[in-house]
Structure formats: C-alpha cells, structure tokens
Amino acid sequence: MEYQPKNRTKCMEMRDKRYILLLICCCFWAVNSLAQQTPVLMNMVHHNPGEAPTKSAFLDDHFLKKEGYGAKVYFLFEAAQFGIDWQGFDPTIFPAGDSTRRWVDKKAKLLDSEYTATKKAGLKVYCMIDMIVLPTALVNKYKDSICDAKGRIDISKPFTQKCVRSLLNQMFDRFPQLDGLVVRTGETYLNDAPFYKGNNPLIHGLQDHVTLLQILREEVCVKRNKEIFYRTWDAGQLHSLPKDYLFVSDQIAPHPKLYFSIKHTMVDFWRGTLAQPQPDYDKFGTFWINEASEYGVPFNPCLGIGKHKQVVEVQCQREYEGKGASPDYIAAGVINGFDELKKGKSGKFISLNQFKTDPHYAGVWTWARGGGWGGPFSKNEFWSELNADVIARWTQHPQMSEASLFRDFAKSKGLPDSEIPLFHRLCLLSAKGVMEGQYSEQGESFVLWTRDDVLGDLPMLKPYFDRIIKDSTIDAHIRERQNAVELWKQIEGMAGQLHFRDATLNSFVQVSCTYGRIKYAIFERAYYIMLKGYAMERSGKTDFASLAPAIADYDRLWAEWNQLYNTHPDCPTIYRQNAKYGYEGLSKSIDHFRIKN
C-alpha cells in the first residue's frame, strides 16, 4: 500500500501554493522577457546646423506616437547640455545676470517645456549630444587641465573626466524627463552653440572611446539606470571595421541600458556595387570614401558582432540622393537588401530582415527628415514619410512583408487599391534609377560626387575616369546612365496615372517625378561630357565639337529644371548649377569643353 502522509490535505495545499507561485514567476519572466525583446523604435529630425529648423510632422509628439514610435530623439542643439548652468561646479562659468547665463536659462525653459510635452505624449525622451562639448568659459579657465598642447579637449586628462561626469549628472538632475542620451563623437557641430567649445575626443586613438564609454556607462547606465546609445559613427574606423569595433566594445562590460548605434551602411548613407571578391577588412586602417568608391558599400559588417545590443540607424531623407525632392524608395532595400548587395558574395547580413533574428538586434533609429547641409528643400515630405512609415511599421511588425506595409501606407494616403501595384513599381524603379543614375552597378563610382544640392566636377572624378578608360568601359558606363534616364521617364509616366485622394499630394507626386527625370538627365549629360571630353584629352585631342549636342542638351535641361521650379509652387528647390563643390565646380568643368567662338 502506498505511503500516505498524516496530513495529506495540508501537503496538497502547500503544493498548490508552490505551483501558483511558480506560475506567477513564469508569467513575470515571460512578460519581462517580452518587454526586453520589444525593439527600440525612435526618431530624430536632423535640422540643418546653423539654418532655420526643419518643419515636419515628425516633430509632433502625437504624430510619432500614432506612428508607433517609442521615443523621440532631440537634435544636437535641443540637447540638455545647453540648458545647464554649471553653478554647482563653478558659478563663474555662467554667472547670474550675464548674457551667457540668460541664453542658458532661456534654453533650459524651452527644453523643459518640450521634454515635458514629449513625456506626456507617452514617448521616451532622448537627446543627441556631441562629445566632447563644454562651455567656452570652462575650457578657457581650466585650459591646462582640460586641453592638450594643441588646445583640444582631452578625455584622458583627469580633470576633463571630472567635467564630463559633472556634465552628465547636471543634465539628468536638471531634466528628469530625460530617459537617455544618444552620444556622437565622429563630428562636432557648434553652429547653434555660441558659448561652447568642442572636438572629437579621439586624440590618443581608439582607446579614448573606451575611456569615454566607461564614464558614460558608470554615470548614466549604472548609477541612474538610464540609457546610452553610443554612436559608432566616424570616418571609417569604429563604425566600419570589425576589428576596431571589437577592440573598443569588447573592453566595455554589457549593460541592459547600453546600446551601440550603427548605420546600416558600412560607411555613410551611400550605395555601391560590391567588388568581388570583397577585401579583407582587417587589412584596412580605415574604410571610408575612397575605399567605398572602389570596393562598394556593404551592409555594415559591425552589425551582429561583439557582446552588446545594437540599434540600426536608417536615414529616410537621403542627403546624398536629393533629400526627398524626388522618389527615392530605400525602405525595400534596407528591409530586404538592395539589389547590388544580392550579387556575388557579401557579408553576414545584407538586410534588416536577416539581422532581425540575431541576438544583437535591438531596434531601429529612423532619421525621418534631415541630414547633411543646404538643400534641396521640399515643402512636402511625402517621399521621406513613405520610407519612415514602412521602416517604422516593419520594426513593430517584422513578420510583415515590405509589400504589405507599403500597401497600407498607400491606402492611408487615399490611393485606389487598383493603382497601388503601379505605385509600388514606380517606387522600386526609383531605387534602381538612383543606383544607375548616380552610382554604378559596374563599380568605379565616386560615392561623393554629388551630395545635398551640389554636383562634383571633373578633377574629383578623374581617378575613376582613369580606371574606366583603362578598362575600356566608357560606353558601358554611359549606357548605364542613359538607361537610368529611361527609367526616370517611365517613373514620370507612371506618376501621371496615379490618383491620390488629395489633389495637392497628387500634384506633388507628379511634379517630383518630373523633377527626378530632369535631374538624372542632367547627371547623365554632365557625366557624358566630362568622361568623353577627358578621354579625348588623354588621347591628345582638343577638338570638342562632337560634345556640342550634349552640352546643348545639358543647357536645355537646366532651363527646363528652372522653369519647373518657377512655375510649380510645390516643386522642391533645385540643385545649384554654379556651386563650387569639389575643386572648381561643375559649371567650370563643363565650360572647359564648350567650343569657343
């Protein structure tokens, strides 16, 4: 006979209580795990430094909340560091009654209001700050203890570290609304910070990153349980090379509140066909403009390595590709992989869809608007909103296809169901049209020959033209750009067949597609004139009569572009024909080949 305890009922009750307790613990663990797995989704509007702020729906907290964002990233000059008065550190830095103090107090009041509104809307509040930026009065007063012999703020100095720790503590004490910081070291902007000095903290090499990261982790993540998003962005080292990323990140202990923030591109937001085979990145000291132009632009190989969580940066208004003045649908390429990344052997990942199951993946940071300098400027943010919407909703629903997310956006804009497939084809063609019209599927493309609203000149392109001439691929490169023009003609034609519910939007879509067709036709003519003319010069010819028809086309297209802008109020600003970008400016390069009468 089986043994029966004397008080069987009491034992059963204890067992049931333990079972319930275990069930509660399991539920808590599951909910907690799910919360930890919820991807970061934050957005920033990148205003042009030193210029009027960008007007955008993405500045509206309630709009962001509706779009499913969990956080708002305030831009550099909306950062908490400009709203602290340093009185507890040294009251002489911003003395009461001084004009500099009035500037700080005014900024603090504005930030208080904005941060509070964002919190009330249900969003986390982050601000992006450049490291290291300190008050000019502080740097001047303690220069020997803060700066190196060249006058640069030096993070290796104990007093500088003390200043940075104080800076961090003052920000979170003064602005309790702050949930964390997005830290940039790769560039330093002071355009709208009149009473501050700053510089990249890397004076002694990559180890300076480690010093700064240890301070940030201790003061923000450990002591305050707040978040740090450490941007790896630089000129081709920490951001681009796995060996450098691991050198830095492996020296930092992981923390649930510490993230590394990395652009999805290996370099800046460019595109480029991958050279085959891809080079051994460990052999590079940097991988930057010239390397990207020669070897292509892979999905960032620093994603998915190391021991830290990573957030992926996506620019939705691509600053090198026209800033949303014409269609530039990058969302499909970011989610599924750009066509050029699918050819040949690439890296570990080529897309967010591949990276999303990796344990390092922690979410996405969109720049819905902004990046770069100057124009083009558009009164309508439709094309940027399209990219941001699809990327943001994919981040929330990564099981959904890009096509279904695209369809939802198009329907929300009042496009008839029957026209959505046509609109999708238009947008996918725009990605191909940008690749062939601005970069090259054949390689040998200088990734920086155009940016913002300017075009590069012949001296900038000569090293690449030399290789094209040597490889006897002049005609192939020209045909590629001519094919791009044909793609943009198709896009322009498709736009005329779309009927969005809003007449204003319908007009903008058509005008911006015409804008794109003219722009890439100018790109093709400029490229043709410079490449053909340079090849003639190299062979000893100085009679450029054969280029006259192309130059006439070039002049006509600029006139057409100006007319489009002058006759359509919804037309974005056009590129600056006579801007001196590069060595001499595009106009001077073209004029070199004009027949002198």
Residue 280, pLDDT above cutoff 60? yes
pLDDT at 92: 98
Chain centre to alpha carbon of residue 90: 37
pLDDT at 345: 74
Q: Which residue has the higher pLDDT, 195 or 37?
A: 195
89 Rama sector, left if φ>0, alpha if ψ -120 to 50, beta otherwise? alpha
Mean pLDDT of 410-435: 98
Query: What's the token pair of residue 506?
Result: 């319908």
pLDDT at 380: 98
Q: What digits encode the pLDDT tens for the residues 90-99?
A: 999 999 999 9
pLDDT at 543: 87
For the chain, give the mean pLDDT.
Answer: 93
Q: What digits encode the pLDDT tens for the residues 134-151?
A: 999 999 999 999 999 999
Q: What digits encode the pLDDT tens for the residues 59-91?
A: 999 999 999 999 999 999 999 999 999 999 999
Residue 417, pLDDT above cutoff 50? yes
pLDDT at 444: 80
Residue 29, pLDDT above cutoff 70? no
Residues 6+ apart with CB under 8 A from 55: none
Bridge partners of 299?
A: 265
Query: What confidence category does residue 344 fall into, taking pLDDT thresholds of 50, 70 and 90?
Result: confident
Q: What digits encode the pLDDT tens for the residues 206-241?
A: 999 999 999 999 999 999 999 999 999 999 999 999
pLDDT at 477: 97
pLDDT at 196: 98
Beta strand 196-198 with 133-135 is: antiparallel
Bridge partners of 434?
A: none
Q: What digits encode the pLDDT tens for the residues 299-325?
A: 999 999 999 999 999 999 999 999 999
H-type alpha helices, 150-306: 158-174, 207-216, 242-249, 289-295
pTM of the model: 0.93
3-state secondary structure of 135: strand
d(CA 405, CA 416): 16
Query: What structural domains and CATH numbers belong to the chain?
Result: 40-412 (3.20.20.80), 417-591 (no CATH)
d(CA 405, CA 409): 6
Residue 549, pLDDT above cutoff 50? yes
371 Rama sector, left if φ>0, alpha if ψ -120 to 50, beta otherwise? left
Q: What digits encode the pLDDT tens for the residues 157-189?
A: 999 999 999 999 999 999 999 999 999 999 999
**Which of the residue ranges 256-260, 309-313, 340-344 would you say has the lowest mean pLDDT?**
340-344
Residue 492, pLDDT above cutoff 50? yes
Mean pLDDT of 336-352: 91
What angle do the packed helices 503-538 and 420-438 form, to 10 degrees? 20
